[in-house]
Amino acid sequence: MREIALVYLDRSGGLQKFVHDCKKYNDSNQSYAVYRFIISINPSDIAELDATLGNYILHNPIQAAQIFQSVCFVAVNTLSLIEQLQTEAQISILLKPTHLPSLPSYVLSLSTFPFNYTSQRFYMSEGIAIAMGTVTKYTQGARFLCTEETCPFSEGRFRYIRVHLPGATESATVRNDFVCALCSSPLQEDMKFRVLGDKQIVEMIDAKVLKALKGYSNDKSHFRIQTFTVFLR
C-alpha cells in the first residue's frame, strides 16, 4: 500500500505540494517538534489504483495516515527536504478527502439509531451553526525530555513526541504525568519545540429544526432536536 500511496501522490500532484511545504519548513528559522502536512485525496481515484488502500482510507483514516507518513518520511530522507527532521514520528499527516461516496452509510445523522460510536472513519454531516466560539490555540505537537540528567533520553534525539490525533483531548498531548520508558523518571516538555494550531468550537443543530419554525402541523410524528458540538482544528 505504501507503493500505491507514492504512485497516487506522484500522479495527483500531492508529492509536488509536499516538497513545496517541506521547503517552507526547511527555510524557517523556527524549531519544530512536529511537521504537519495536509494531503488532499480523491477516494475514487485511489480506489481505482488499489481498492484495498481506497477502503482503508475511507474506513480507517488514522491508520491510513500512517502509511502516507512512512512514504513522506522516506521522501524527506531521500530528497533531503528537511535538514532538522530526525524521526518518522515528527511527521504528522492529515488526510483531507475531496468527497465521500454518495451512500447513506457515509452520512452522519444524530437522529438515526443506533449510533456507531466506535467508528473513526470519515462521515458527512449537515446542520445549522447556531453559535461559534472565538479562535483559540491548541497544541498540535510537543517534545518531551527525561528529567534524569544521566538518562540518554534527557537530551539529543526526538525520542518522546506527542502529536494530537483527531478525537483526542488536549491532555492526551500535553500533561505532566508522562514518564520515561527507560528509567521511569518524569518527562518534562521542551517548550521551544511546541507546535500550536488554531481551533474553534461550533454549536450546530440538525437542519430538521427548520420544520419546527413552520408552526402548527398536522403531522402526528414527534421529534426532539438537540444541538451537537463540532471542534474545528
Q: 93: how many CB neighbours lie within 10 A of its CB?
A: 22
Q: Where are the beta strands (DSSP E) in 10-107?
A: 35-41, 91-97
Q: What is the mean pLDDT of residues 184-207?
A: 92
Distance CA 173, CA 66 (A): 18
The model's pTM: 0.85
1-103 under CATH 3.30.1640, yes or no: yes
Tens of pLDDT, residue by residue over 135-186, are: 999 999 999 999 999 999 998 778 899 999 888 888 889 988 999 999 999 9
Tens of pLDDT, residue by residue over 85-132, are: 989 999 999 999 999 998 888 888 776 655 666 778 898 888 899 999
Q: What pLDDT does 115 receive?
A: 66
Q: How confident is the model at residue 218 (pLDDT cuts 50, 70, 90)?
A: low
Q: 3-state secondary structure string, 87-122?
A: CHHHEEEEEEECCCCCCHHHECCCCCCCCCCCCCCC
Ordered by start, the domain boundaries in the chain are: 1-103, 137-196
| DSSP codes of every residue in 132-153 | E---EEEEEEEEEEES-TTSGG
Q: Which residue has the cell 506527542?
A: 162
